[in-house]
């Protein structure tokens, strides 16, 4: 379906509610000052909603595509999301909803069409193949492939509070089983300017080391304050993905500073549980962690170090590496590569995020990876690790692949 200048002027109407007067130099050579649509088009140009063509023309008599119209609507809503012409805004948003979704636009007014609940999701396929040499000769091979469906509902309570959850179904494709159905997290999120509070069971990700120590869930409370300088405080209970009969009492915090090019952070995480002794030889774990990264154009230099002061052996983990570009699921054809050296101890990295360490974390070596977005809202991940186990010093090689479809 094509629309001409008339549709563009509807977007201009939305933007024009932000002010009552306007004056500007003629933005386009083919729209004279006496043209009936001059004021609207000039305001659109001044607000950045329309840009015209490289030769300085507007070409207002040309048919435009729905996607082009959606771009103008998206820019108009960004300029004046709460303007006086709410009815016109809602009408435009509903008319071009599919195109706006493809542009990644999220408009609060649209949430009412789903009873104030917005759903996102992912279908994820993962494959592991690990080969570890044995002391007495020979090797141990393990393969695993799973399919996972994730749904993420977000319900708006009021202007400050939202409810967020993850509903997840996982099945092992190598076994004839029914799989599992879980709700890994569900929590309330309150936002007041630079202050945020989360209550419930939520994602537990150690941001300062980019998940080297923890990528799991915990139940409790989290307080976050700041923008560039950020402080996060957490307290509650942690059960290592449900593996502990006696969940650990947990307290922790992180302090970080971030700009467009640079990030640095430090954190502390304390755990106490009788069940920790079976896993880590101690009832307590005191994990200190630091991390940093720096962007040099398309190259990212990063590293992290963590230490468990309660561990007798293998009391530290660290990683350092480089990455180039990166796949963006909204940009088909985008890609990236990475190379890292990792020393990951089970006594420090309690639930590490690294996929090539998913079958067994207690090892060191080189981890290389590649990401690619072949089509819109998809990503392919490939990683290969080769190194040695920390305790037995046996050679270990792991190949990991993942394909994700987002919706």
Span 370-393, average pLDDT: 95
Instruction: Say if strands 395-406 and 117-133 run parallel, antiparallel, or are unpaired.
Output: antiparallel
Span 143-166, average pLDDT: 94
Q: Which residue has the higher pLDDT, 39 or 180?
A: 180
Q: What are the tens digits of pLDDT across the range 8-36?
A: 444 444 444 444 444 556 677 777 776 76
197, pLDDT greater than 50: yes
CB 86 within 8 A of CB 15: no
Nearest to 201 by CA among 178, 180, 179, 184: 184
Q: What is the band of 312 on the pLDDT scale with cuts at 50, 70, 90? A: confident
Q: How far apart are CA 126 and CA 402, in angstroms?
A: 4
Long-range CB contacts (within 8 A, 24+) of 242-246:
243/279, 244/273, 244/275, 244/276, 245/275, 246/273, 246/274, 246/275
Q: How far apart are CA 214 and CA 211, in angstroms?
A: 5
Predicted confidence at residue 3, as pLDDT, reads 45
Predicted confidence at residue 343, as pLDDT, reads 98
Q: What are the tens digits of pLDDT across the range 87-113?
A: 665 666 666 667 666 666 554 444 444
Within 252-388, residue ranges assigned H as helices are: 276-280
**DSSP sequence for 290-329:** EEEEEEETTEEEEEEEEEETT-SSS-EEEEEEEEEE---T
Query: Which residues sit opposite 148 in a β-bridge?
Result: 124, 170
* CB contact set of 358 (below 8 Å; sequence gap of 6+): 128, 400
CB 268 within 8 A of CB 253: yes
The model's pTM is: 0.71
Nearest to 49 by CA among 102, 98, 92: 92
Q: How far apart are CA 240 and CA 216, in angstroms?
A: 7
Within 17-81, residue ranges assigned H as helices are: 38-46, 66-79
Q: What are the tens digits of pLDDT across the range 249-294?
A: 999 999 999 999 999 999 999 999 887 776 677 788 999 999 999 9
Span 312-340, average pLDDT: 96
Q: How far apart are CA 72 and CA 80, in angstroms?
A: 12
CB 356 within 8 A of CB 386: no
Question: Which tokens hold the place of 290?
Answer: 């630091």
Predicted confidence at residue 54, as pLDDT, reads 65
Instruction: Say if strands 395-406 and 229-238 run parallel, antiparallel, or are unpaired.
Output: unpaired
Phi, psi of 34 (to 5 degrees): -85, 0
Q: How many CB atoms lie within 10 A of CB 230?
A: 17
Nearest to 299 by CA among 263, 326, 264, 269: 326
Instruction: Say if strands 395-406 and 262-272 run parallel, antiparallel, or are unpaired.
Output: unpaired
Largest CA distance in the chain: 90
Percent of the chain's residues with pLDDT above 90: 55
């Amino acid at each position: 379906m094509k629309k001409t200048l008339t549709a563009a002027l509807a977007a201009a109407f939305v933007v024009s509610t932000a002010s009552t007067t306007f004056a500007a130099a003629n933005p386009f050579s083919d729209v004279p000052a006496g043209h009936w649509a001059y004021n609207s088009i000039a305001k659109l140009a001044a607000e950045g909603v329309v840009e015209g063509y490289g030769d300085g023309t507007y070409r207002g008599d040309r048919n435009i595509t729905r996607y082009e119209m959606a771009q103008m609507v998206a820019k108009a809503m960004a300029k004046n999301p709460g303007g006086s012409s709410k009815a016109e805004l809602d009408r435009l948003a509903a008319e071009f909803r599919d195109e706006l979704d493809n542009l990644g636009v999220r408009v609060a007014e649209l949430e009412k069409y789903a009873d104030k609940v917005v759903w996102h999701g992912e279908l994820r396929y993962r494959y592991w193949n690990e080969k570890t040499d044995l002391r007495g000769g020979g090797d141990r091979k393990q393969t695993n492939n799973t399919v996972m469906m994730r749904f993420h509902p977000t319900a708006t309570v009021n202007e400050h509070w939202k409810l967020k959850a993850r509903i997840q179904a996982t099945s092992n494709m190598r076994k004839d089983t029914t799989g599992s159905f879980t709700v890994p997290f569900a929590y309330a999120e309150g936002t007041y300017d630079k202050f945020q509070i989360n209550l419930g069971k939520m994602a537990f990700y150690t941001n300062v080391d980019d998940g080297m120590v923890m990528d799991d869930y915990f139940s409790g409370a989290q307080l976050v304050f700041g923008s560039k300088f950020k402080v996060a405080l957490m307290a509650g209970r942690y059960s290592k993905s449900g593996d502990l009969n006696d969940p650990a009492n947990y307290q922790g915090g992180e302090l970080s500073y971030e700009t467009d090019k640079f990030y640095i952070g430090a954190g502390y995480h304390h755990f106490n549980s009788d069940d920790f002794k079976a896993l880590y030889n101690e009832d307590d774990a005191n994990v200190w962690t630091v991390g940093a990264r720096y962007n040099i154009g398309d190259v990212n230099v990063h590293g992290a170090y963590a230490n468990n002061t309660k561990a007798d052996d293998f009391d530290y983990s660290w990683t350092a590496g480089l990455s180039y570009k990166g796949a963006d699921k909204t940009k088909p054809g985008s890609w990236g590569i990475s190379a890292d050296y990792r020393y990951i101890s089970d006594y420090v990295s309690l639930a590490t995020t690294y996929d090539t360490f998913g079958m067994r974390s207690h090892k060191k070596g080189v981890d290389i990876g590649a990401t690619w977005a072949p089509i819109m809202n998809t990503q392919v991940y490939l990683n290969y690790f080769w190194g040695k186990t920390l305790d037995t010093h046996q050679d270990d090689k792991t190949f990991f692949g993942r394909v994700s479809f987002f919706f």
